[in-house]
Structure 1
Amino acid sequence: MDIIALIKQCIESLPQSSSPIAERKIVLAYSGGVDSEILAYGLAGFAKSHPQFCYQLVHVHHGLSANADSWAEHCQTQSALYQLPCTVAKVSVKLAPRTSVEAQARSVRYEALLAQMQPADILMTAHHQDDQLETVLLALKRGLGPKGLASMGRVQRFDSDKWLIRPLLDFSKHDVEAYAKAHAICHIEDESNFDEKYDRNFLRQSIIPQLKQRWGAIAATASRSAELCAMQQSVVDEEIAVRLPLVQQQLAGDNTINLVALSGYSKAWQLLLLRGHMDELGISPPSKVQSEQIISQLMEAKADANIEIKLSDVVIKRFKGAGYFLPTTPTVKPVAIAISSIDHLYDPGITYGDKQLLKATLANNGVRLPLDGEKVTIEFALPGSTRCQPQNRSKGRELKKLWQEYEVPPWVRGRVPLLCYNGKLVCAIGYWNEKAFTCQEGKVGLIFPTVKPYC
């Protein structure tokens, strides 16, 4: 095993970057265990012949072990020998009932690594063939499909604009340990690796040795299966990328699914497009049963049914033939804004929090300017019984009827800015101007953008 050559192969297989090479950094996730230690040793050799890159070892200090401080000291000592800079990133792992310590530690670890990286940088991890087998087995345990079974790639995109490489992925734990012994590489031993309350350790200590005893090549064959799943998943992803935009639409400021368009696909494709849409929104993929229930309720419930499906990180609703995917965090109800000077409406405009809510322009059109003494406010909720008359209508209608007519979802209505003079509706901004407040011909008034603004 030639680690320098393995690192070189991974780097050379990456697409060309537009970033200057002198600014591109190779970051090693450095625990100090035998796996990452031999990579640090190899990276030191690679760096000597490739000075065009920046290099950084990052040791994430979780604070979960009494030995955590000594491990950090070990990594700093070794990095000095390797003549590579080392950063110790201290993180806090939140321990709570029904949460996985492994998952929480992994999450904060990658956050800490990302904090050290810029676009086009390269993260190197020490995953090997046995780790791949563990990941495949855990994916089977969780009931994951091809995407989960694809597990880890040797080279893959990371955080959309960075890269992740795993030079040791084709080598076994035995190969790693033999290399460390042959080169007298000093490393630490994490005592938690032997605690079988953690799923990976249970597999590592009790299951995988028996599997290898029966089928010596199982780590290699499982890795091949993962590669095949990855290849097939890449084809599915390519097809999803083509089909997904055909069923998506922007409504009420949200990226929704057009259920009529979705109904033109088979049930299998409906499930795949649902998962693709949720993945694009950054929402955790639902289980097989959850996916089927979501599709069933969105597609088969009666037209007037009040659909609301709650998952851990999303609330799914249906309205007027569209599926909405809303955050679970409660939306803060916006409060009325008093406008001290009408000039503020068009220069610089009205902001709400850190977002520009609206900005009007002056023209011979739109709604009239307020009269002297008229109190100007931006309201966010008027009674549904409020009588309104859009400027192109011959008759008035109740506000709640107009919201339905304009197909504004109920959860959005309280976030639509309403320009009022002395408490009377002048303009539902982004939707209509009130007829009674339109400009007389030749008079300068306020024109608001047709893009619908929300808090």
Structure 2
Amino acid sequence: MIEKSSLTEQISAPQLLSLLEQAILPLYQMSVVKGESSPKLVLAYSGGVDSEVLACGLSALAHKHPHIACLLIHVHHGLSANADIWVQHCITRANHYQLPVQIERVKVEKGPRQSLEAQARDARYQAFDRYLNPGDILLTAHHQDDQLETLLLALKRGQGPKGLAAMGAIQAYKQAWLVRPLLDISRDQIEQFAAQKQLSHIEDESNQDDSFDRNFLRLDIIPRLKQRWPSIATTAGRSAALCAEQQQVIDDEVSHRLPEWLIVPGDTNALMTESTGFKLTGFGQLSAAWQALLFRGYLIYCGVNLPSQAQLQQILSQLLAAKDDANISIQWGDYQVKRFAGIAYVVSHKELDAIDASAVQQQFEQLLKGELQQTVCRVGHKQCQIGLQIATDNTPLLALPNNTVVSIRFGAAGSIKCQPQFATSQRQKARELKKLWQECNIPPWRRPQIPLVFYGDTLVAAVGLWVDKRYLAQTGDQGICIPLLNTR
């Protein structure tokens, strides 16, 4: 075991190999025990000095442990005129290390208000993802000075303990692992090792462009900090580790408390919603800190990009302060939070896309003409299979139109009346559509996505929800089977 204090001096090849073994072998063995077939090591290989040193160490590990498969992946971003030269360098060096290499070409497009750095990073990781199987280990060459940069950027953005925890040495990454074996090694140590071993590496000219935040810190700020406080990268790493510990405690407690606030798809109160819901009853009695932690935990659970702190406070304020019947819609990025029946839902803009009524109308007409045996309608986020059948006592079918004009509509006036077959004996009369939506617990943003079947100007069915009892096919007659997705 290498003590961290010994890493303040120049590192040797045996020390580098030992670092890799300590970080990698336990995870590798864990994957083997779990039954993942042939887990492999995947190195994010830029050809810069950091990844060159890590590739050198990985070569030694592969030689000592030949049963472990290794792969270098170099991503060609196309952002530099030297990109093709870097590809050749990486192929040459990989051959020198006797390690397989894969070149991935990606296209980086900077969108409005997007960082080129962030776009390039996302493109890289998407490329790595294509090669990662469950249990595989992705290696990156982040080091101690990178950790200091990450911590300073988190301070600049005003992030909390999670952001200040910066990068973890070992962390779960999707179904694989992400390992940063050099996180306790300084940039100086890496450069000394490369010089000692005469490792050839590339120099990315963009690293001298201080218009990028990281380069500004690396070139101008961190050297001055180190001149005043030589051990600042080490102490900052210690602070990041302490923040990570505290964040883990918070995450564990949020994970313990969160389930009691969730409504998952399929629950009675979550009908016709694609997203998991968040209960608001009693939520206002919690402290402001726990409100923020739990709702942020809910958004993470749903897998959406988190809003800023200011946006989160606005969301919580509107959810808790607005009247029960208020139509709340708070947007950020590609998402928005809505509220219905005391439950908050996060939905993506894509989920709210309008459905092409003409396409559904055409399929329905083809079905009635016998040109289709059955057709599939989208009802919210679900699929409903429609076809012609013979009615039985246990299967409510919509009667055939008998030369009446049939139309499919998405959205109708709330005053239109219908008498669903699920209505109780106390409700012999037709009810307004707006009341039926409420009775079926359909959120307002889902209602325009439910196909409504009209015979002439009469609403006779809501696909997936009900058939008007006055338009049910008689037993033994042919009718239109509209499966009811709303279990009552």
Normalised to the residue count of structure 2, the TM-score between the two structures is 0.85
How far apart are the structure 1 equivalents of 2:203 and 2:255?
44
Q: Secondary structure at the match of 1:341?
A: helix
Q: Secondary structure at the match of 1:414?
A: helix
Q: Deviations over 1:184-226 (max 9, x none)?
A: 1111111211211111111111111121122221111111111
Given that 2:73 and 2:102 are in contact with CA atoms closer than 8 Å, whether structure 1 keeps it comes out as: yes
Q: Which moved more, 1:221-230 or 1:163-172?
A: 221-230
Pick from 404, 419, 436 the counterpart of residue 402 of structure 1.
Answer: 436
What is the letter of the counterpart of residue 312 of structure 1? Answer: G
Given that 2:31 and 2:135 are in contact with CA atoms closer than 8 Å, whether structure 1 keeps it comes out as: no
Which residue pairs with 1:107 in the alignment? Answer: 122
Which residue pairs with 2:23 in the alignment? Answer: 10
Matched, 1:184 2:202: no
How far apart are the structure 2 equivalents of 1:344 and 1:217?
79
Q: Which moved more, 1:310-319 or 1:126-135?
A: 310-319
Pick from 318, 341, 361 the counterpart of residue 337 of structure 1.
Answer: 361
Q: Which moved more, 1:266-275 or 1:132-141?
A: 266-275
Matched, 1:226 2:240: yes
Matched, 1:317 2:333: no
How far apart are the structure 2 equivalents of 1:219 and 1:313?
37
What is the Cα-based RMSD across aligned positions, in Å?
Answer: 2.7
What is the letter of the counterpart of residue 103 of structure 2? Answer: V
Given that 1:62 and 1:93 are in contact with CA atoms closer than 8 Å, whether structure 2 keeps it comes out as: yes
Q: Map of 1:93-242 to 2, 5 A cutoff?
A: 93-158=108-173, 160-242=174-256
Shift of 1:289: 1.8
What is the letter of the counterpart of residue 82 of structure 1? Answer: Y
Q: Deviations over 1:61-113 (max 9, x none)?
A: 11112211111110011011111111111111213453211111111111111
Shift of 1:318: 2.1
Distance 1:265 1:345, change over 3 A: farther
How far apart are the structure 2 equivalents of 1:328 and 1:435?
35
Q: Deviations over 1:274-294 (max 9, x none)?
A: 111112222222222222111
What is the letter of the counterpart of residue 254 of structure 2? Answer: I
How far apart are the structure 2 equivalents of 1:356 and 1:299?
30
Distance 1:276 1:416, change over 3 A: same
Given that 1:376 and 1:422 are in contact with CA atoms closer than 8 Å, whether structure 2 keeps it comes out as: yes
Which residue pairs with 1:431 in the alignment? Answer: 465
How far apart are the structure 2 equivalents of 1:375 and 1:116?
55
Q: Which moved more, 1:49-58 or 1:357-366?
A: 357-366
Q: Deviations over 1:354-408 (max 9, x none)?
A: x872136864231344265566665433333322112322111221232234332
Shift of 1:325: 1.4
Q: Map of 1:249-260 to 2, 5 A cutoff?
A: 249=263, 250=265, 251=270, 252-253=272-273, 254-260=275-281
Matched, 1:326 2:339: no
Given that 2:367 and 2:373 are in contact with CA atoms closer than 8 Å, whether structure 1 keeps it comes out as: no
Distance 1:211 1:307, change over 3 A: same
How far apart are the structure 2 equivalents of 1:344 and 1:352?
21
Which residue pairs with 1:246 in the alignment? Answer: 260
Normalised to the residue count of structure 1, the TM-score between the two structures is 0.90
How far apart are the structure 2 equivalents of 1:166 and 1:312?
31
Pick from 382, 385, 397 the counterpart of residue 359 of structure 1.
Answer: 385
Given that 1:22 and 1:53 are in contact with CA atoms closer than 8 Å, whether structure 2 keeps it comes out as: no
Given that 2:392 and 2:475 are in contact with CA atoms closer than 8 Å, whether structure 1 keeps it comes out as: no
Q: Secondary structure at the match of 1:26?
A: strand
Q: Secondary structure at the match of 1:185?
A: coil
Pick from 288, 304, 313 the counterpart of residue 283 of structure 1.
Answer: 304
What is the letter of the counterpart of residue 319 of structure 1? Answer: F
How far apart are the structure 2 equivalents of 1:381 and 1:273?
35
How far apart are the structure 2 equivalents of 1:369 and 1:268?
56
Distance 1:136 1:434, change over 3 A: same
Point out where structure 2 has 5 or more consecutive residues left out of the alignment.
1-10
Which residue pairs with 1:30 in the alignment? Answer: 45
What is the letter of the counterpart of residue 404 of structure 1? Answer: Q
Given that 2:41 and 2:138 are in contact with CA atoms closer than 8 Å, whether structure 1 keeps it comes out as: yes
Distance 1:343 1:228, change over 3 A: farther
Distance 1:352 1:400, change over 3 A: closer
Pick from 253, 274, 295 the counterpart of residue 316 of structure 2.
Answer: 295
Distance 1:248 1:450, change over 3 A: farther
